[in-house]
Amino acid sequence: MYVFRTLIVPTALAPMVRGLCSALAGEAGKGMFDTPLAPIGETEPSHYISSGPIEDGFAALLESPAVMHATCEAAGLPVSLEDCTAILSQCYVTEAPAFDFLATLGLELAHG
């Protein structure tokens, strides 16, 4: 089963999160977080976004650092519980459509 999610990560975490998505979701996780976002009126990316349907099992690990950590451990990835907690505390995860949610954060697609 698939569920809709909009996921926004800070620029500093984007490479790590891209790697985790690719490692955990395989082909479906590749190409995530390639769209840069910037504060409205600015050009320098501050975040990256992915939005659309994801497997409900993947959605579950976005709700809990412990679930994310257990999933990473099971996949043999060297990611600590502290890493998972830091990732989820700095990322935005919502069921809202991307452009609706961007407006609430004061972000827009980065142009530049």
The candidate with the shortest Cα–Cα distance to 61, out of 33, 29, 38, 31, is: 29
Which phi and psi (to 5°) does residue 23 adopt? -70, -40
The candidate with the shortest Cα–Cα distance to 49, out of 111, 15, 98, is: 98
Give the pLDDT confidence of 20-74 residue by residue, as tens digits. 988 888 777 788 899 999 999 999 999 999 999 998 888 998 999 999 999 999 9
The candidate with the shortest Cα–Cα distance to 57, out of 91, 17, 28, 77, is: 28
In the structure, what pLDDT confidence band is assigned to residue 112 with cuts at 50, 70 and 90? low
